[in-house]
Amino acid sequence: MTMWIGRRDLLLTGAALVLAAAIGASPAFAEDAEASAFLKTFAEQMAAVVNGPGDTNAKGQALTPLIDTNVDVATIARFCLGRFWNGASPAQQARYVTVFHKVMLNNIRGHLGEYQGVSFDMTGTRPQGDDVVVGTIINRPNQPPANVGWVVSRGTGSPKVVDVVAEGASLRLQQRDDYASYLRQHGNNIDALITALERQVSGG
């Protein structure tokens, strides 16, 4: 099974890993400027790591706390499991979230070299329910610019990226569809999905 980041090469490392929906209703942003300022800072921090000195391992380690602080990783996992989340036991849920996080970080490290020279242009904001979509153009050397919308929510009390829309496609929805398809092919066995993700982490 392949995670979506392996078949989509549009975003800054780590951005394509932002695939969450906030649980329940989120308080609306008082101003779009809040979401825009948050996203600008986050994007600049990621770009500084990717374009800075150090090897791939060091950069991957430096990106990890940025992702964990600015991305709602736990709800990424929950959303991607979709309706199967409520059918999972607490132990399965915990095991799944843990391995999802590991897969995400492995994918970040595996694509770091593709993003040297990356830069962002902010293109404005628009509301999406209680959230705000911050539009950007991601520029990479020798690659066409990519239109990317970052959905920012305050569902956890502070701004976090909860989805990425790349060239019009919601990555969180695509990942959920991938997992649902895998589960249908394996008798809706959540342990089978978790084991497949664990093998992906171990390289098996």
pLDDT in tens, 72-89: 888 778 989 999 999 999
Between strands 169-170 and 146-153, the pairing is unpaired
Name 122's bridge partners: 136
For residue 131 the two structure tokens come to: 């959230």
Looking at residue 4, what is its pLDDT? 38
Q: Which residue has the higher pLDDT, 149 or 119?
A: 149
Domain 4-202: homologous superfamily in CATH = Tgt2/MlaC (3.10.450.710)
pLDDT at residue 204 is higher than 70? no
For helices 32-51 and 56-70, angle between their N-to-C axes, nearest 10 degrees = 170
Per the prediction, the chain carries an average pLDDT of 80
Distance, CA of 23 to CA of 157 (rounded, Å): 12
Amino acid at 36: S
For residue 187 the two structure tokens come to: 């008798």
pTM: 0.77
- Under 8 Å between Cβ of 16 and 166: yes
Report the run of H or E that residue 132 belongs to, with start and end: strand 131-139
How many of the other CB atoms lie within 10 Å of CB of 81?
Answer: 25
Contacts of 119 (CB under 8 A, 6+ apart): 47, 138, 139
Q: Which residue has the higher pLDDT, 22 or 193?
A: 193
Report the run of H or E that residue 97 belongs to, with start and end: helix 90-110
Range 43-61 average pLDDT? 85
* 15-29, 35-49, 153-167: least confidently modelled range: 15-29
Name 149's bridge partners: 135, 165
- Under 8 Å between Cβ of 171 and 4: yes
DSSP summary character for residue 27? P
pLDDT in tens, 95-143: 999 999 888 888 777 777 666 777 778 888 888 888 888 988 888 788 8
Looking at residue 60, what is its pLDDT? 85
Range 166-193 average pLDDT? 91
Amino acid at 130: D
| 99: three-class secondary structure by DSSP | helix
Looking at residue 107, what is its pLDDT? 79
Looking at residue 164, what is its pLDDT? 87
